[in-house]
């Protein structure tokens, strides 16, 4: 877990950070539908899992800006930027109706990420333990798929005084709308390190990455 300490004197959001960590402690979240038609087509054409492909693109987008890789280390009273953040996601067990936490490492190389993610999912399916270990996984962002429905709104609430800065991402089932597949996506970020522009930017960057797949026709090429 490598990181650099942010210099608050030169931080471009210094005033905003102070306001939303002292005066008005809150988070901001947004739900919108993302067009995933090309990603779904690519997954079918290559026989790969749409879920893992989307998780890869999501991790790629969130690693593309320092704003999404920030965290407050309370024990050191330091605001830091991780070199990279990794997804923590969940495997649902139908028999127990419970989840197992799956920590996976993000690699820019698509084939390496895909292979490791599939192996980690397979291992998680063999246990029924929850497996939460936040102490040893500080540079992870939460990624949760709500597979049972395609929703219109979702809210993740954290205590206002809890300075949790890594993103919390949820998404639901995609549905066909006028010949296109659109999927609900919810992005939550602490307002101290992100505003509406930065939250909306996640959606825009994802759309750009999906468009690259359409143009190149190859996730492997897109990921290098």
Assess whether pLDDT exceeds 60 at residue 224: no
Domain that holds residue 191: 3-223
Question: What pTM did the predictor assign?
Answer: 0.95
Q: CA-CA distance, 189 to 90, in Å (whole number)?
A: 20
Give the domain CATH number at 104.
3.30.559.10
Domain count, the chain: 1
Find residue 99's DSSP bridge partners. 92
Local confidence band at 162 (pLDDT 50, 70, 90 cut-offs): confident
Alpha-carbon distances, residue 203 vs 17, 113, 157 (angstroms):
23, 21, 21
Are 114 and 60 in contact, with CB atoms under 8 Å apart? no
Q: CA-CA distance, 187 to 203, in Å (whole number)?
A: 8
Q: CA-CA distance, 71 to 73, in Å (whole number)?
A: 6
> Quick one: pLDDT at residue 96?
98
What is the rounded average pLDDT of the residues 149-175? 91
Assess whether pLDDT exceeds 70 at residue 43: yes
Which element (helix H / strand E) includes 184?
A: strand 180-190
State percent of the chain over pLDDT 90. Answer: 90
Find residue 29's DSSP bridge partners. 188
Assess whether pLDDT exceeds 60 at residue 119: yes
Q: CA-CA distance, 81 to 115, in Å (whole number)?
A: 27
> Quick one: pLDDT at residue 160?
64
Q: CA-CA distance, 140 to 134, in Å (whole number)?
A: 9
- Average pLDDT, whole number, for the chain? 94
> Quick one: pLDDT at residue 13?
96
> Quick one: pLDDT at residue 208?
96
Q: What is the pLDDT of residues 77-90, one digit of tens each?
A: 999 999 999 999 99
Q: What is the pLDDT of residues 4-26, one digit of tens each?
A: 999 999 999 999 999 999 999 99
């Amino acid at each position: 877990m490598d990181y650099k300490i942010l210099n608050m004197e030169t931080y471009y959001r210094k005033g905003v950070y102070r306001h939303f960590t002292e005066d008005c402690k809150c988070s901001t979240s947004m739900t919108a539908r993302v067009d995933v038609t090309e990603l779904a087509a690519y997954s079918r054409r290559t026989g790969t899992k749409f879920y893992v492909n989307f998780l890869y693109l999501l991790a790629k987008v969130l690693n593309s800006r320092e704003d999404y890789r920030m965290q407050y280390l309370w024990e050191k009273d330091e605001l830091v930027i991780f070199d990279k953040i990794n997804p923590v996601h969940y495997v649902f067990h139908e028999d127990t109706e419970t989840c197992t936490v799956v920590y996976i490492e993000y690699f820019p190389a698509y084939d390496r990420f895909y292979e490791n993610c599939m192996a980690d999912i397979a291992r998680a399916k063999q246990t029924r333990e929850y497996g939460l270990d936040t102490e040893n996984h500080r540079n992870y962002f939460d990624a949760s798929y709500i597979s049972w429905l395609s929703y219109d709104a979702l809210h993740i609430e954290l205590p206002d005084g809890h300075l949790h800065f890594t993103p919390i991402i949820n998404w639901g089932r995609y549905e066909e709308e006028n010949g296109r597949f659109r999927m609900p996506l919810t992005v939550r970020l602490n307002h101290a390190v992100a505003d509406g522009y930065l939250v909306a930017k996640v959606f825009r960057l994802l759309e750009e990455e999906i468009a690259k797949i359409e143009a190149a026709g190859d996730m492997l090429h897109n990921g290098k």
